[in-house]
């Protein structure tokens, strides 16, 4: 009888070969069904996270997950949460905030309006940290802060500004390491094991959904923080997002990246001055 199987059948038989194909199909389906574009996320970490979801959903294969995701938006919500990695904290990398306080905020002293964009703000801890700095430097009332993320579930938590009280105790240490001199507890009210961020820190913040892979620039900013977001992207997506951020900065605007990120060898590298090397702060030159 004639062999109808493709010649590469022997190779395809291995589970791992199927897995790559299944992953590709899942990512494509998510894009077509929900519009979330993970096609250029770094493949190794994406695969790890997808396989964890397969396990969490008590499934056996990525194809099983694909079927569930396509038919059940609630499953997509759970998947989105684990694919996007929303780990964050207040005053993360305290020296970053020391550098912001010393090298960036003094430049804003004479501006009548300071526009700031937190791209990929997760549950908001970073946004409130900067709001505290702006308050302490007497700049908050002139600041307009756009805080965006692709995941509306984390944005809803960010907007509420309610965090476990035990975390605030840890953040208090980071706040003081970041140069804070006040009682950290003045920035929240504690109740039933939770801390509610002061409304005076929330009033100038606009929370909105924005996807860095598919949405365009929406304003020009004096300061953009996009920290610990692009580490999950592949090289070409990093370049595209860097172009978007560059186009969204005013002349001499400042870009802040995460500890493991830099502008090294991106197409705009020569268009930035390094304002603080370890703080990953870069100032637009042209
Ligand atoms: C690890 S958190 C970083 C939070 C905060 N910037 C920090 O450094 O602590 C990464 C955030 O980026 C968001 N994110 C991932 N891909 C994104 C995209 N394409 N567009 C917008 N946000 C994205 C995730 O939803 C997540 O909330």
CB 249 within 8 A of CB 65: no
- The answer to whether the CB of 93 is under 6 A from ligand 1 is no
* pLDDT at res. 7: 55
Q: Name the closest-CA residue to atom 3, ligand 1.
A: 228
| Ligand 1 atom with least separation from CA of 122 | 27
* pLDDT at res. 286: 79
CA of 231 to the centre of ligand 1 (A): 10
Q: Where are the beta strands (DSSP E) in the chain?
A: 114-119, 143-149, 162-164, 188-191, 194-197, 205-209, 221-226, 249-257, 272-276, 281-284
- The answer to whether the CB of 238 is under 6 A from ligand 1 is no
Q: What is the pTM of this model?
A: 0.93
Tell me the DSSP string of 161-175. TEEEHHHHHHHHHHH
Give, for all 286 residues of the chain, the pLDDT tens digit. Answer: 455 555 554 544 555 668 999 999 999 999 999 999 999 999 999 999 999 999 999 999 999 999 999 999 999 999 999 899 999 999 999 999 999 999 999 999 999 999 999 999 999 999 999 999 999 999 999 999 999 999 999 999 999 999 999 999 999 999 999 999 999 999 999 999 999 999 999 999 999 999 999 999 999 999 999 999 999 999 999 999 999 999 999 999 999 999 999 999 898 999 999 999 999 999 999 7
Q: How far is CA 226 from the centre of its chain?
A: 6
Q: Name the closest-CA residue to atom 13, ligand 1.
A: 120
* pLDDT at res. 11: 47
* pLDDT at res. 265: 84
* pLDDT at res. 3: 55
CB 104 within 8 A of CB 98: no
Q: Which residue has the tokens 């059948």?
A: 9
């Amino acid at each position: 009888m004639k062999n109808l199987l493709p010649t590469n059948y022997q190779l395809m038989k291995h589970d791992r070969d199927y897995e790559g194909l299944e992953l590709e199909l899942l990512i494509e389906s998510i894009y077509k069904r929900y519009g979330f574009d993970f096609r250029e996320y770094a493949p190794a970490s994406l695969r790890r996270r997808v396989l964890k979801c397969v396990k969490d959903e008590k499934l056996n294969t990525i194809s099983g997950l694909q079927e569930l995701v396509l038919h059940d938006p609630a499953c997509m919500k759970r998947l989105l949460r684990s694919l996007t990695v929303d780990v964050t904290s207040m005053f993360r990398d305290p020296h970053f905030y020391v550098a912001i306080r010393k090298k960036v905020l003094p430049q804003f002293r004479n501006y009548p309006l300071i526009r700031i964009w937190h791209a990929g703000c997760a549950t908001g801890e970073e946004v409130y940290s900067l709001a505290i700095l702006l308050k302490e430097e007497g700049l908050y009332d002139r600041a307009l802060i756009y805080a965006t993320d692709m995941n509306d579930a984390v944005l809803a938590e960010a907007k509420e500004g309610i965090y476990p009280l035990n975390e605030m105790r840890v953040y208090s240490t980071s706040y003081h390491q970041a140069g804070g001199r006040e009682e950290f507890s003045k920035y929240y009210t504690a109740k039933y094991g939770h801390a509610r961020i002061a409304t005076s820190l929330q009033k100038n913040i606009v929370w909105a959904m924005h996807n860095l892979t598919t949405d365009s620039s929406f304003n020009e900013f004096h300061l953009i923080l996009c920290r610990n977001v692009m580490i999950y992207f592949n090289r070409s997506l990093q370049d595209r997002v860097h172009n978007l951020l560059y186009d969204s900065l005013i002349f001499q605007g400042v870009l802040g990246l995460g500890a493991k990120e830099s502008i090294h060898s991106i197409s705009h590298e020569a268009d930035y001055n390094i304002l603080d090397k370890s703080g990953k702060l870069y100032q637009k030159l042209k």
